[in-house]
Structure 1
Amino acid sequence: MAAALDWKLVVDTRDAPALADFWAAALEYEVEDNSALINRLLEAGQLPAAAVAEHNGTRVFRGFAAIRHPDDPYDKETGIGRGRRILFQDVPEPKSTKNRLHIDVHAGPDSRDATVARLEALGATRVEEVDKGPAGHWWVMRDPEGNEFCAA
């Protein structure tokens, strides 16, 4: 039997570092720190200065940011995660329609309201409450860039 493939979810954004900050806080993940890799590439002349930006006092790849689960392995030399990972990449066009893929944030029935309130405090907005009785009860929400997700 073949080994499972590595993968990451990629989200198109207007401001990758800011959206990575939101989702890292929402999911209790860590924003990847690629500054050692960036510094090494800059020093070797393999990366133009225009490809680098600063965010929260750290060098970042312009237009890109990623988050990873804090318990998953990562490459200490590059900061790149090797497990559950979401990459945010800036694109020129704005979001125009409903997502075809979305994240579900599961808080459990006793803490859904607290989780929804925490997500709102981070910058999410409520869109619609859905109650399917025994099949589930959740909130459709939007992240700060308008991407839909569910909080159950």
Structure 2
Amino acid sequence: MTTLVNVPKNRGLANTNSGLNLPIWSKWIDEMFTNDLPSVFTSNFNTGISLPKVNIKESADAFIVEMAVPGLKKSDFHIDLDNQLLSISTEMKDENENNQDNYTRREFGYASFKRSFTLPESVNDSKIDASYKDGILSIHLPKKEEAKQKPARSIKIS
């Protein structure tokens, strides 16, 4: 059996039947993305924001949604309630312009996220409130009176 393709340890493909010194594709692609690229390519793709993680806690009288989103301001958030759908979103735009000598360099950045949750019928939507402190967005979702847990009690037999 003839070996047409040899797979070296670095997992790139090299043609063993050719006398040409062609680049190993995986190495070439790795170098293309790890070499210093102009910031116009890197700044728009690495904005530092991703879909934030959410903790949801339930107590006897409420649900609490906590979202870790450091580096933002209260005014950056949009919290909407449409029927039973709670949506939390933000949108940030960044535009930098440097004028030096005879050239202008402009860089644009954009980052956003949106998380949506369907609320249970037990939430009293008229009393929902939110706060933002130390990078944590907290949304308090109180339960309706009839949905709150009642303490355990003993029933006497007559």
TM-score (norm 1): 0.27
Structure with the higher fraction of residues in strand conformation = 2
Relative contact order: is structure 1 or structure 2 higher (C-alpha 8 Å, sep ≥ 6)?
1
